[in-house]
Amino acid sequence: MIRRRQWVGNGVQLACYALPNLCIGMLVLPAATIVPSLYIKERALVPATVGLILMSARFFDAVADQLIGYLSDLANSRLPGGRKAWLVLGGMVAAPSVFFLFSPPAHAGALYFGFWSMAVYSAWAILLIPYTAWGTELSRDYNERTRIVTARSIAGQLGTLLFLGTPLLLNALHLAKTTAADLHAASYVALALIVLLPLTILPCMLVVPQGIAQLKSAPRGLAPTIRSFMNNRPMQIYVCAYFVAETGYGLFATAIFFYIDAYLQSGAQFIYVVLLANVATLLSMPAWKRLCEHVEKKTAWGLSWALQSASLLALVLVPPGPAGLVPAAVLITVNSVFAAAALVVAPSILGDIVDYDTWKTGGYRAGNYFALYSLGIKMVTAVGGGLAFILLGWFHYNVVSPATNGAAANRGMLFVLAVAPALLRLLALAVLRLYPLGRHRQRVIRMSLERRERRAAARQPTERLAAEGAG
């Protein structure tokens, strides 16, 4: 029996809660952006085919993620451990799925890639949806919620760095002939994940409390959940702004491998550029957290989009070929500093939106709301990634023989990598201005919910005595 604990926000609890995201970080970004590119380069898959596979798989996720969110909320109200058991189940699904996706046989084709990609995305949902919903239940405080999200995001970023640093480590240990990112290195990551998943999940389950006990009301079905989405204006604005901006990120994150490998003809330096960018993201997350303590969360998020747009458009001025590597690396790193805001702000804002829905409807649907967030992450990476592959094919950009690309093809690369993502972020910024929940309003909602819960707790002894008397 795990002894019930209260969230006190100390370093041990915070670290143990963040630990599983180390593995999720090793899984999510590589599976969504890097590994598909490696299948194209090393297994000769057609880019447009990969793009269609990634986009079509999201129709399955649209149903599966909401079902997982609903069942997660149901478990939270009925099982002693709440959402904790989902981490174990997710780890059991993730281990074999990641191994087969990251370690494909030489003859692996589109069907192999499609099947194991879907399996990995399913494991992603089983892990991420209950895990992030659980995080928002640990505290309702406006700043503490951002602190929890920041710790979780830092662990996830460290996981991404472990994936990206694997080729360098393997080369140093003479287990690989090159430092370039490839499927050989990805197979070692899969083996590491099989070991790390139980080592990170177990401390989280033992040390971190279950969450706010008053919120254990059972979900009322999927139909009321859909209605709550339709009637929740903050959620509608959030989803629209997030989807538009992060679809641009999906374009950028997918095209960057081909941009460095083919456009800049510097494939051997890809791992160093991306490592530098991810280190910049990691180091800048605490700064975005501190900014959110002084300004509204939506203000910090919008500022990051405006700055990202400027740094992305500057990439258009970088010349092709190795001469452009250094200025491109600087601009990509600067963009990563600004992009870190989304990792801190987006899940924290969603926690506030869950409180708003609970206050307005009386229901509690954190699982379904974070299922929509998980689906959003997969949709923007898949749609953005799919569009990137399709557009590069439409512009006739040759990723295998970059010397054959003319001026029109190179302009197409810059459009996919920089121009389209920048414009989408500016469009998202216009939408985000309509978002209504701020620090003051969230505090009023939190106090109202706490009063409601105290009244409900006070009624329980009376109702229990009445039931015993009737018996």
Q: What is the pLDDT of residue 280?
A: 95
Question: How far apart are the C-alpha atoms of 149 and 346, rounded to whole Å?
Answer: 9
**Residue 450 CB neighbours (<10 A):** 13
Q: What is the pLDDT of residue 204?
A: 92
Question: How far apart are the C-alpha atoms of 128 and 126, rounded to whole Å?
Answer: 6
Q: What is the pLDDT of residue 460?
A: 61
Q: Which residues contact 90 (CB under 8 A, 6 or more apart)?
A: 123, 126, 127, 128, 130, 131
CB 45 within 8 A of CB 109: yes
Domains (range + CATH), the chain: 17-464 (1.20.1250.20)
Q: What is the pLDDT of residue 470?
A: 46
Of 302, 304, 296, the C-alpha closest to 437 is 296
CB 243 within 8 A of CB 376: yes
Q: What is the pLDDT of residue 223?
A: 67
Task: Return per-residue pLDDT of the chain as tens, 471 residues.
Answer: 334 456 666 788 999 999 999 999 888 777 877 788 888 888 888 877 887 887 777 777 777 887 888 888 777 766 666 788 889 999 999 999 999 999 999 888 899 999 998 899 889 889 988 898 888 888 888 788 889 999 999 999 999 889 888 888 898 888 888 777 788 888 999 999 999 999 999 999 999 887 764 444 545 555 677 777 788 899 999 989 998 998 898 899 888 988 998 899 898 888 889 889 999 999 999 999 999 999 999 999 999 999 999 999 999 999 999 999 999 999 999 999 999 999 999 888 988 998 898 888 887 788 878 887 777 777 777 677 778 888 888 888 887 777 888 889 999 999 999 999 999 999 999 999 999 999 999 889 989 988 887 787 676 655 444 444 444
pLDDT tens digits along 372-392: 777 777 777 767 777 888 888
Residue identified by tokens 């512009």 is 395
Question: How far apart are the C-alpha atoms of 458 and 23, rounded to whole Å?
Answer: 42
CB 335 within 8 A of CB 440: no
Q: What is the pLDDT of residue 53?
A: 84
On the CB side of 226, how many CA atoms lie within 13 Å of its CA? Answer: 7
Question: How far apart are the C-alpha atoms of 27 and 95, rounded to whole Å?
Answer: 10
Q: Output the pTM of the full model.
A: 0.75
Question: How far apart are the C-alpha atoms of 278 and 276, rounded to whole Å?
Answer: 6
Q: Which residues contact 388 (CB under 8 A, 6 or more apart)?
A: 51, 250, 251, 254, 255, 416
- Residue 321 phi/psi, 5° resolution? 90, 175
Question: How far apart are the C-alpha atoms of 469 and 167, rounded to whole Å?
Answer: 70
pLDDT tens digits along 341-364: 999 998 889 889 988 988 888 877
Output the six-digit token pair for 258: 């081909």
